[in-house]
Amino acid sequence: MVVKMDSFSFFMDYENIRGYADNLYTNDNEKCLEAIIRVKNSVIGSNKQKGSVIAQGIVPRLMRLLAGEPEISTAIRLEAAVTLGSLAHGSEFHVSALADAQLVPLLMSVIEESNENTEDKDHRALVAACLRCLRSLAQSGFYPRIDEPPRLLLNLAASEQPTGNRACVAAILAAACVETTEQDALCEANAGPILANLLVDAPESLLPPALECIAAFSKDHNQAAQSLVNVGCVELLANLVQRSKPPHIQLGAARCLAHLHRAGAIAANDPRIVYRALPCLARLCHREQPSEIRAEAADALAYLAEVDTDLQKTASISYHLISELKDLLSEAVIEGRQAAFKAFAALGANDEGIRKKIIETDNLMPRLVLNLGSHNESVRLAAVRCLHSLSRSVQQLRTTFNDFCVWQPLMALLTSSPPPCTELLTVASSTLCNLLLEFSPAKEPILELGAVKLLCELTESPEAALRLNGVWALMNMAFQAEQRVKSQILNAMGTDRIFRLLGDSDARVLMKTLGLLRNLLSTRSHIDAIMSVHALQVMQGIVLVLEGPHGPTVKEQALCVLGNIADGDRAKEHIMSNEDVLKKLIHYMMHSDSRLQAAAIFCIGNLARHEEAGAIERQQRLRAFGVLNRLQQLSNTQDMSLFVKVQAAIAEFKEP
């Protein structure tokens, strides 16, 4: 029944439009103009009529009229542009249909052609209509490519165009700045001075798109940001964050200053950041402001303060910010909750006192736990980021986090089906790393929830960040763990996978894998048990690292693993019977890097320990390799830390 009604409605729409749409194809300019005006009036404000016009194939005719067929008047071209602009205000489907018909390049062509006739009022109106249509398309994700110098749009922004046209150009460029390549192209075209000039004596209607454009142009792009700073844009922006300006203007200007700072063009201690941008954003988070302004201000503040401890401290005591952000969590607006969690994450990133203040904020933890299970992925991600930031607190891991059992919703999120996106999975697994630290009471409950299987699966991810988090969390789990936990890790992971991770292209993954091995190979009985089963792969993996093109930090960890193996009662024989490994230890004893020397000597000392069974035979073999002679040579070192280790190792050798 519904299908029949839809078909009938479409038929009626078709009949209603067909009576005058046929005249779009006539050579009579008056009839054509009248027809196009009727089409325009029919689609204004009606997505249903827009869809009908598109379905009837009228768009190609409108585009031909806009292109200016012979004998087509400028008035018809103008009405065609306005009608297409109305269609561009429709649904995603409508906009996609226009983009697929190649409307964007046609609009650019008409703008360029008509802009050459600036003395003609109709041509000026046509340029304005085309720019408005292009703006609608750009803001829906279909924008002119600017991977080549965007000469035309920048010329329009720089010229004596009407305010509306310049506002359109700014909005189009803002929407187009989605990748570094677009920012590079604008830099190459020297866009900085042109965009900064949009703020000079600008009417209020031009400021929002101009500020949006400057923010998009400079975000995470040092060259773009520096080009704006060099032409005095910072002072223009600083003047716009004053209380006398409308809140949306203050917000736009403060966001631009935040982007210039984060791009490295303004220092964190610059007065225009500390005394203008930051207080402005904190003030705009106040509950007296509209929800949309508060959400955007909190988001911008999170970005501004994310990496600088001093800005975090200043923000946390500005305008009762923490309580205002908590109030934002109670609103139904999704963007507000997301921004508040992001701001809390930024504020608590480095300072224990701020974390404590955030966590002790009334009713915050229940809201945080609740939003870990939000149906909105952006809110979930922001909540997990907040939890990750707060999980850096040793005290809170032992108290508040334990009280609220935060690992339960976190593990539920990590094991959900379908799996979360890569970004969410990365932040959540990073949080899990902190919850698995040795002093955290969450360790055993997380183990019971199947964390080992989950983390082992992460180590096989194609994403280096997920492999890193998987190994890192397992390393924390294995630290001072019972043998049953270590066995569970080894059984789930297998030494084959550990061996593959020791050859990982990401040095961070390699380092944490070595850390995992060190933690697994601790406690003598554990060392002997593990090496009795997995010695071949473990020794091959260590040799692989020592022979690889790695820096001293990585090789030091590999030598420390050997030192742990040498601490085992039976496991040390896997080193003593391996001539290649013994030669490598001797090589690193005499290395120019004292860290490698110390790690190798630590291992030698464990092998030579005189009070253990078989010590005489091991010492004789080490003497035969010249180990004692080299230790005696090293006793002349000026490095006191190394000297102590050398003397301790020499003391283990007993005279035959």
| pLDDT tens-digit map of 520-536 | 999 999 999 999 999 99
User: Is it the case that residue 45 has pLDDT exceeding 50?
Assistant: yes
Same domain as 558, residue 441:
no
Q: What is the CB neighbour count within 10 angstroms for residue 57?
A: 9
Q: Which domain holds residue 597?
A: 546-656
* In-domain check, residue 585: yes
CA separation, residue 413 to residues 304, 345, 378, 419 (Å) = 28, 19, 13, 8
Q: How far apart are CA 194 and CA 171, in angstroms?
A: 14
Helix (H, G, I), strand (E, B) or coil at 88: coil
Same domain as 569, residue 613:
yes
Token pair belonging to 287: 């509950």
pLDDT value for 1:
28
Spell 271-310 as b/e; 16+ CB within 10 A means b. ebbeebbbbbbbbbbbeebeeebbbbbbbbbbbbbbebee
User: Is it the case that residue 2 has pLDDT exceeding 50?
Assistant: no
pLDDT band at 150 (very low <50, low <70, confident <90, very high): confident
**110: Cβ contacts below 8 Å, ≥ 6 apart:** 66, 67, 68, 77, 81, 126, 130
* In-domain check, residue 593: yes
Same domain as 513, residue 613:
no
Same domain as 501, residue 592:
no
* In-domain check, residue 491: yes
Report, as an integer, the average pLDDT of 465-492. 95
pLDDT value for 335:
94
**50: Cβ contacts below 8 Å, ≥ 6 apart:** 43, 86, 87, 90, 91, 94
pLDDT value for 655:
62
User: Is it the case that residue 116 has pLDDT exceeding 80?
Assistant: no
Same domain as 643, residue 550:
yes
8 A C-beta contact, residue 502 and residue 545: yes
Same domain as 514, residue 551:
no
User: Is it the case that residue 268 has pLDDT exceeding 70?
Assistant: yes
Same domain as 511, residue 566:
no
pLDDT value for 417:
87
Q: What is the CB neighbour count within 10 angstroms for residue 579?
A: 10
User: Is it the case that residue 480 has pLDDT exceeding 60?
Assistant: yes
Which of 520, 537, 562 is the C-terminal boundary of a domain? Answer: 520
Same domain as 510, residue 570:
no
User: Is it the case that residue 8 has pLDDT exceeding 60?
Assistant: no
User: Is it the case that residue 147 has pLDDT exceeding 60?
Assistant: no
Q: How far apart are CA 309 and CA 389, in angstroms?
A: 13
Token pair belonging to 21: 């749409």
Token pair belonging to 339: 């921004």
CATH of the domain at 635: 1.25.10.10
User: Is it the case that residue 11 has pLDDT exceeding 70?
Assistant: no
User: Is it the case that residue 475 has pLDDT exceeding 70?
Assistant: yes
Q: How far apart are CA 224 and CA 190, in angstroms?
A: 9
Q: Mean pLDDT, the chain, as a whole number?
A: 91
Give the single-character DSSP code of 24: G
Helix (H, G, I), strand (E, B) or coil at 458: helix
Give the single-character DSSP code of 516: H
* In-domain check, residue 476: yes
The H or E element spanning position 70 is: none
Report, as an integer, the average pLDDT of 362-384. 94
* In-domain check, residue 509: yes
8 A C-beta contact, residue 111 and residue 127: yes
- Looking from the CA of 509 toward its CB, the CA atoms found within 13 Å total 22
Report the predicted TM-score, pTM, of the whole model to 2 decimal places. Answer: 0.88
8 A C-beta contact, residue 612 and residue 569: yes
Count of domains forming the chain? 2
pLDDT band at 146 (very low <50, low <70, confident <90, very high): low
Same domain as 472, residue 408:
yes
* In-domain check, residue 295: no
Token pair belonging to 309: 């401890």
Same domain as 402, residue 509:
yes
Token pair belonging to 379: 């809110």
8 A C-beta contact, residue 407 and residue 454: no
Q: pLDDT tens digit string along 89-103?
A: 988 999 999 999 999
Give the single-character DSSP code of 532: H
Percent of the chain with pLDDT over 70: 95
Place of tokens 């109709």: 122
* In-domain check, residue 211: no
pLDDT band at 118 (very low <50, low <70, confident <90, very high): low
pLDDT band at 87 (very low <50, low <70, confident <90, very high): very high
Same domain as 556, residue 489:
no
* In-domain check, residue 439: yes
Report, as an integer, the average pLDDT of 305-311. 96
pLDDT value for 18:
61
Same domain as 405, residue 504:
yes
Q: pLDDT tens digit string along 162-220?
A: 999 999 999 999 998 888 999 999 999 999 999 999 999 999 999 999 999 999 999 99
pLDDT value for 5:
35
Q: Which of 390, 346, 343 is nearest to 369 (CA)?
A: 390
